Amino acid sequence: MQFLTAKSLLYIRVVTLLVVSYYMLKDPEGLSTAGFVLLMGQAVQVPILRLAPSNPLLSIVSIFFATTALSDLIPLLAENWNHFETLVPVRLFAYFLIVAFTYFVPESAISNSLVVTYSMFEIWCNFLIYNNLRDEKFYRMKKFVEENADAIKQAQDEKITVIE
């Protein structure tokens, strides 16, 4: 069994997004000058973005992070694993495209240290979630087959075939 389950990783992602949302409002300059943000920006060779606390766009970005966290929290509380098994690979692909675009088009508007850092966090987090979801799905299916082996065998034996 894994050390961190998909459920715990999803909770970690939700909490992290809420913390980022909070820091976007309270200390955006500290967030944009954090060591890991500067390191990721320099590693990908994109411009380092400095956020001013007086920027009015930070509130809408903060709302975006908070609603993203809440949109994951609701299906997580309902334990809707099909939702995450569908959504996580799409997210992973989208964030891979964003990082590739910021790397290959360095003069674009989204090529900055914050976008790269957030996208890399999403890639790492969603990759871990995806792997755990696949493992847990396998174990759920294995348990179901073990518990219902007789019923599955009986249903297979009762299968009706039409011969013409």
pLDDT band, very low/low/confident/very high, at 160 (cuts 50, 70, 90): low
- 44-100 pLDDT per residue, tens: 999 998 998 888 999 999 999 999 999 999 999 999 999 999 999 999 999 999 999
Q: Report the Cα 60 to chain-centroid distance in Å.
A: 20
Q: Answer yes or no: are the C-beta atoms of 101 and 36 closer than 8 Å.
A: no
- 91-138 pLDDT per residue, tens: 999 999 999 999 999 889 999 999 999 999 999 999 999 999 999 999
- 35-45 pLDDT per residue, tens: 999 999 999 99
Q: Where are the domains of the chain?
A: 6-138
pLDDT band, very low/low/confident/very high, at 162 (cuts 50, 70, 90): low
The pLDDT mean for the chain works out to 91
Residue 1 has pLDDT above 60, yes or no: no
